[in-house]
Structure 1
Amino acid sequence: MKTLFRLLSALPLFLLHMLGGLLGWVAFLASPVYRRRFLANAAQAGLRLADVRRAIAGAGALIAETPRLWFGRPPRIEWDGAGLIEQARAAGRGVVFLTPHLGCFEATAQAYAAQHGRITVLYRPARKAWLREMVDTARGRPQLATAPTTLAGVKQMLKALKAGEAVGLLPDQVPPLGLGEWAPFFGRAAYTMTLPARLAQQTGARILLAWGERLPWGRGYRIHLRAAPPTLAADPAAAAAQVNALMETLIRECPSQYLWGYARYKAPAEAR
């Protein structure tokens, strides 16, 4: 599989996106379960198929662009709001980046590491050993560290923030049981991680919102940065609701690049 990924990484990005778009439509048409969840999640946000049609191909592009991001040469990057990073760094504070399943979140972390400094990203280790080994190898970039969704990973992120570094999370990812609160997401209760607020409150880090827009015709990515409130609520459930509202704002910027097929409203695995 690693050999295949290395071969695919040599293809132009626009071709990978085209192949991925086809893959996205095949999955949408072939899987009734996936299709129903995709449409139901979009409808929960008040969107019609016409509003999110391009997200069907985008889900496939997300998969197809991975070999390039893991093994190929870095893509072209544009920045929107990079001054927010400089403001946080000038204050000597760490930064907590919150990125939903919107656009290319892999490119967001890589771009920060390449141009701004060290970042530690939270990820859920793959269950299969061969895939876990490949992911760990591929993501081992200079200035880019990974932290597993465990207590050790949380400690690793706290240490990075206290050193004035950056960390990145996908706050619309369903956390393990006991590490989240039920909070509204587009008007429906979703189990939401409480880690972003805890990290900021314990370290004084600045919270920034980020997402990587997939540009047309393989022209690379535009990293959008947005400011978040200076502080989140002390109550975990209230803070989770705040984070979800912030993610909703980002997603509404470009719903055609959100991963609507993600099972956002499922219960944690340990509770099922």
Structure 2
Amino acid sequence: MSSTPRDASPAASSPPDPGPPPRGVRQWPAWLGIGCAWLLARLPWPAQRVLGRAVGTLLRVALPARRRVAARNLELCFPELDDRARQALLRESFSQLGIGLFEFARAWWGEVGPLRAGLRVEGLEHMETARAGGRGVIVVSGHFTTLEIAARLMCDYAPLAGMYRPHDQGAMEWAVKRGRLRYATAMFGREELRPALRHLKQGGLLWFAPDQDTRRGDSVFVPFFGRPAYSLTSTHQLARLSGAAVLAFAHERRDDGGYTLRLMPAFEGFPSDDATTDTARVMAAIETMVRAAPAQYLWIHRRFKRQPDGRGELYR
């Protein structure tokens, strides 16, 4: 696989149709918000980075419940850090979150040309090896603030489809899906298992992030930063049912303003006969990514809200 971008608009030749946009008075507030985000997506990139850090600081102050969740996660995951270091990491994580919000808007509705400057893409040869013989590939990552822009940039090099959780709000779902279909080959809701499997069996690439505690889907407790974390077994299940290879996708927003996208070698002997073992391997790979860029992980999610003893008191 060449390290040269395959196309500036990989899905432009035959973009899937997201259907007609939802209408009605109830959709107006969402459309207003989408319009504002569309305009913000067109600000110059240097201005977005500055504004993003300011927005992140505002969110840290305005969302005390989320701030407490993030602080607790950092306490659980980095006990070796003293309070001052964790507070600094907390502040930086919200700054990175603010930048990420502008990246999401730009990825969906703006242009990413300025973000390609200084882009480093590593490990494309691992993707090429995994795809040998027309085999499908599952590309797994974590919920980082760079999640959307990294997928957008990687689509210049590989024809990724995505699996995601649909938005409850109709206008937002339509606008985001339409934005993603500007670059992804397809988008599958988390309930659309059969078309996702068909895509993989036909040699397609499917990207998703299985690292959040969710009520839907088979899950098991596996270690994450040394603590039990309720984790989806979906990577194991998709690989078992489709015969696809699985590789990890790391992405990082560098201090110099550029991005690094890194594909790892495919997991060997995956899937095994044990869903828990395979899920633990996936979570270990995501933990390695988090340790490499801890401020860019989405710490505001209650990752450890369920525990094996059923008490769930870690966030009280």
Q: TM-score, normalised by structure 1?
A: 0.88
**Which structure has greater strand proportion?**
1
Counterpart check, 1:237 vs 2:276: yes
The one-letter code of the counterpart of 2:175 is M
- 1:222 to 2:256 alignment: no
Which of these residues, 105, 113, 126, is aligned with residue 84 of structure 1? 126
Q: How does 1:242-257 map to 2 (within 5 A)?
A: 242-257=281-296
1:66-96 deviation digits (Å, cap 9, x = unpaired):
2211111123142022221122223432111
The 1-side partners of 2:48 and 2:152 are apart by: 19
Query: Which protein is bigger by CA-based radius of gyration?
Result: 2
Q: Are the equivalent residues in 2 in contact too, given 1:110–1:144 (CA < 8 A)? A: no
1:182–1:192 CA contact under 8 A, matched in 2: yes
User: Does the residue aligned with 2:264 lie in a helix, a strand or coil?
Assistant: strand
Cα distance in 2 for residues equivalent to 1:178 and 1:205: 19
Could you say which residue in structure 2 is the equivalent of 1:128? Answer: 169
Distance 1:260 1:226, change over 3 A: same
- In structure 1, the partner of 2:234 is 195
Matched ranges for 1:29-178 at <5 A: 29-46=61-78, 47=81, 48-51=86-89, 53-74=91-112, 75-76=115-116, 77-117=119-159, 119-150=160-191, 153-178=192-217
SS of match in other structure, 1:263: coil
Q: In 2, distance between residues paired with 1:192 and 1:202?
A: 19
- Tell me the secondary structure at the aligned position of residue 263 of structure 2: strand
- After TM superposition, what 4+ stretches of structure 1 lie above 4 angstroms from structure 2? none
- Deviation at residue 41 of structure 1 after TM alignment: 0.8
What are the superposed Cα offsets for residues 186-226 of structure 1, whole Å, 9 maximum, x if unpaired?
1222221111011112222221111322234644x321222
Counterpart CA distance in 2 for 1:26 and 1:143 is 32
After TM superposition, the score normalised by the length of structure 2 is 0.77
Identify unmatched segments of 5+ residues in structure 1.
Answer: none
Q: Measure, in 2, the Cα distance between the counterparts of 1:79 and 1:218.
A: 15
Post-superposition CA distance 1:137-194 (Å, at most 9, x none): 21122443111111xx121221111111100111112233442122222122222111
Q: Secondary structure at the match of 2:229?
A: strand
CA contact (8 A) 2:57 2:91 kept: no
C-alpha contact 2:126 2:266 (8 A) present in aligned 1: no
Mapped contact 1:69–1:106 kept (Cα < 8 A): yes
Q: Distance in 2 between matches of 1:262 and 1:143?
A: 26
Partner of 1:204: 243
Cα pair distance change 1:49/1:232, threshold 3 Å? farther
Q: Is the 8 A contact 1:12 1:218 kept in 2?
A: no
Q: CA deviation at 1:64?
A: 2.0
SS of 1:224 mapped into structure 2 = strand
Cα deviations by residue, 1:122-145 (Å, 9 ceiling, x for unpaired): 111111122112112211224431
Aligned-pair distance for 1:50?
Answer: 3.5
| 1:232–1:239 CA contact under 8 A, matched in 2 | yes
Structure 1, 228-237 or 246-255: larger mean CA deviation: 228-237
Letter in 2 for 1:199: L
**Could you say if the C-alpha distance between residues 213 and 181 of structure 1 is closer, same or farther in structure 2, counting changes exceeding 3 Å?**
same
Q: Distance in 2 between matches of 1:21 and 1:54?
A: 9
What's the RMSD between the two structures over aligned residues? 2.3
- Paired with 2:195 and 2:305, the residues of 1 have a C-alpha distance of 27
Q: Which runs of 5+ in 2 are unaligned?
A: 1-32
